[in-house]
A and B are shown apart, each in its own frame.
Chain A
Amino acid sequence: MLDFAALLPYSHVFIHGLITTVEISLLATVLGLVLGATFAVARQYGATWLSRIVNVYVELIRNTPFIVQLFFIFFGLPSIGLKLSAWEAGIIAMVVNLAAYSTEIIRAGLASTPKGQWEAGKVLGLSFKQTLFRVVIIPAIEKIYPALTSQCIIVMLGSAVLSQISVQDLTYAANFVQSRNFRSFESYLVTALLYLFLAILMRKAFNLIGKRLFSYRAER
């Protein structure tokens, strides 16, 4: 027999886990995107050596499992004297991961900028930086915004792995509760629904931000 009421005594554990997951995801999303945008500019317009370094980083992260990256940061780095708390290691792993994927996504947006936009900036006397920030960046992000949104949601869902290094997130809560009351079905079902809820919420938030950022399309 299923018994969801058996979860009730542990509701505070779930709530705590949910808050942790929201916190780390929010922080990782903001930092990851800022870093990703910076790397994308470096990769697309930077000097060859800089572009190459960014490329190596991107490929390294995109072609290795997230959990291995996480373990390397949490268990591996202390060997060379860099000791991090589980929470710190988790955040860093997520930022490093999202930054790599978003670098590639944002770079694609920048690369798709019509040459004419750069030339128009040039003949009006704008510098490279002014053209990039005032002319190029917003339409470039608009083009890849759906892909960027999905990537951020993937990273949020991927934060479940952080429970493996004892970050007390939502998945950690589910593991904890089902080990106490042996209600695995109920525990993981509720957890899955909470992740689903977070994912939907995140997509809505991104859509809302997108509407403001790209308001020039809204009145179509």
Chain B
Amino acid sequence: MSLVNIHEVHKYYGDLHVLKGINLNIKAGEVISIIGRSGSGKSTLLRCMNGLEKYQKGGITVDGKEVTTEEIQVRILARSVGMIFQSFNLFPHLTVGENIMLAPTIVLKKSKQEAQETAKAMLEKVGLADKFDSFPEKLSGGQQQRVAIARALAMNPKVLLCDEITSALDPELVGDVLKVLEQLAKEGMTLVLVTHEMNFARDVGDRVVFMHQGKVWEEGPAKEVFANPQTDELKNFVNSVL
């Protein structure tokens, strides 16, 4: 039984048909990279997986729960699906610690002490244990993104969606964030990444999904997809980015 089940999903923005019948199953512990040119629908697909975007046809289930954009459904889903954004989206008026503790205390109703312990453990994991009392704007982009990862992990999600999470970072900071992802992958976290980091997708990812014109154009084991692309579109894409 797969953790994420996407069946014949169609999505329209008005007349624009962005997702044209997507089928994808993701098993627990898998690391999936979704690649493709901009406009191919990869971020949209990711955002459909946790109810941030509506889809018009088909179905998505995560951990057996149906994904819809109803507030109540999104809130239930948020307990099993974490998400990290390109723009970090930390809360500027809260310290790093408070950012991480907010949802565990008011959503999971954990005690302050318990939430604090979790927050510290997660910060330790992303290598920022000393930043508990700092405010986000004091941190570099790479540090902010690692805090965002810690904040998502504190909700103990079953799957983590990463939407181009290194695209807004200075090149020298990308490595720190990827290292954290690699560690999570090793620990068995299910990761779904929309990414332009092809080396990471090839070396750390289990499976690569190449999207083109709103469809899953080609997919397969990461190393194979890069070494031996079957379609011209993927060949062109791989040549243009590697």
- The answer to whether A125 touches B93 (Cβ under 8 A) is no
How far is it, in angstroms, between the C-alpha of A120 and the C-alpha of B145 when the chains are bound? 13
Q: Nearest chain-A residue to B148 (Cβ)?
A: A120
Q: Tell me whether B36 is interfacial, beta carbon within 8 Å.
A: no
How far is it, in angstroms, between the C-alpha of A60 and the C-alpha of B61 when the chains are bound? 50
Q: Tell me whether B92 is interfacial, beta carbon within 8 Å.
A: yes
Query: DSSP class of B's interface residues: helix, strand, loop or mixed?
Result: loop
Q: Nearest chain-B residue to A137 (Cβ)?
A: B93
Smallest CB separation, B156 vs chain A (Å) = 11
Q: Tell me whether B79 is interfacial, beta carbon within 8 Å.
A: yes
* Count class of interface residues, chain B: 20 to 34
Contacts of B108 in A (CB 8 A): 125
Q: Tell me whether B83 is interfacial, beta carbon within 8 Å.
A: yes
Among A124, A130, A134, A216, chain B packs the most CB atoms within 10 A around the CB of: A124
User: Assuming A128-B71, A214-B93, A219-B135, is B78 touching A122 (CB within 8 A)?
Assistant: yes
How far is it, in angstroms, between the C-alpha of A199 and the C-alpha of B26 when the chains are bound? 63
Q: Tell me whether A48 is interfacial, beta carbon within 8 Å.
A: no
Smallest CB separation, A18 vs chain B (Å) = 37
How far is it, in angstroms, between the C-alpha of A130 and the C-alpha of B74 when the chains are bound? 14
Contacts of A128 in B (CB 8 A): 71
Q: Using a CB-CB cutoff of 8 Å, which residues 169-220 of chain A contact chain B?
A: 214, 216-217, 219
B106 in complex: contacting residue of A119, A126, A214, A216, CB < 8 Å: A126
Contacts of A219 in B (CB 8 A): 135, 138
Q: Tell me whether B75 is interfacial, beta carbon within 8 Å.
A: yes
Q: Tell me whether B82 is interfacial, beta carbon within 8 Å.
A: yes
Contacts of B34 in A (CB 8 A): none
Contacts between chains A and B (CB distance < 8 A), count: 73
Q: Tell me whether A138 is interfacial, beta carbon within 8 Å.
A: yes
Smallest CB separation, A54 vs chain B (Å) = 23
Among B85, B89, B135, B138, chain A packs the most CB atoms within 10 A around the CB of: B89
A127 in complex: contacting residue of B71, B82, B90, CB < 8 Å: B71
Contacts of B91 in A (CB 8 A): 117, 120, 134-135, 139
Q: Tell me whether A82 is interfacial, beta carbon within 8 Å.
A: no
- The answer to whether B93 touches A216 (Cβ under 8 A) is yes
Q: Tell me whether B107 is interfacial, beta carbon within 8 Å.
A: yes
Contacts of A124 in B (CB 8 A): 78, 102-103, 107, 151-152, 155
How far is it, in angstroms, between the C-alpha of A128 and the C-alpha of B70 when the chains are bound? 12
Smallest CB separation, B60 vs chain A (Å) = 15
Contacts of A216 in B (CB 8 A): 92-95, 135, 137
- The answer to whether A119 touches B75 (Cβ under 8 A) is no
Can you list 28 contacts pairing A with B, beta carbon distance less than 8 Å?
A114-B87, A114-B89, A116-B87, A116-B89, A117-B89, A119-B52, A119-B83, A119-B85, A122-B52, A122-B78, A123-B50, A123-B52, A123-B152, A124-B78, A124-B155, A125-B78, A125-B107, A125-B108, A126-B107, A128-B71, A130-B107, A138-B93, A139-B93, A214-B93, A216-B92, A216-B94, A216-B135, A216-B137
For the complex of A and B, the 6 pairs showing the least CB-CB separation, nearest first, are A125-B78, A124-B103, A120-B89, A116-B89, A125-B107, A123-B83
